[in-house]
Amino acid sequence: MEQTFVILKPSTISRSLVGDVIERYQRKGLKIAGIKMMQLGEEILREHYAHLVDRPFFPLLVKSMTATPVIVMVLEGKDAVAVVRAMTGATNARNAVPGTIRGDFGMSGQENLVHASDSVENAKIEINRFFRPEEIFNYGLVTVPAIYSPDEMD
């Protein structure tokens, strides 16, 4: 099964929406393969958001992402990257459609609740940036036969 990376941002933590967001992923049928809370610093944010470092809003991004600890997760499932991106919604939450996490809970382009990997390649890079191999778990879910047909399981 494919893995993807998610950050529940300080806006999720501060608004006590952690349970609501995680519940959505689990109800969809995604498996949590890794999860932990951590405090981000500027160094890891410069690496993670390297494509934004020279943008004028980067200092605001750092301030936002260091406001509280975050929760980082590895989610697993068939086409997990695309599924999680669809569930997340548009970056600017005001433009996110209802039914998505950002569409239901957000009103900001920056305080947009969740970071989700945008490709399988970036998911692998991001997972390796935030997790050690022993922090990713391979286990079965008894619900798998009710989530996938036999020909969809790899």
Under 8 Å CB-to-CB from 61, ≥6 apart: which residues?
45, 49, 52, 110
Give the C-alpha distances (Å, rounded to integers) separating 99 from 17, 96, 106: 15, 9, 11
Partners of 114 in beta bridges: 8
Q: In the annotation, is 115 catalytic? A: yes
> Which of 8, 80, 115, 131 is the catalytic position?
115
Instruction: Give the residue numbers annotated as catalytic, written as ranges.
Output: 115
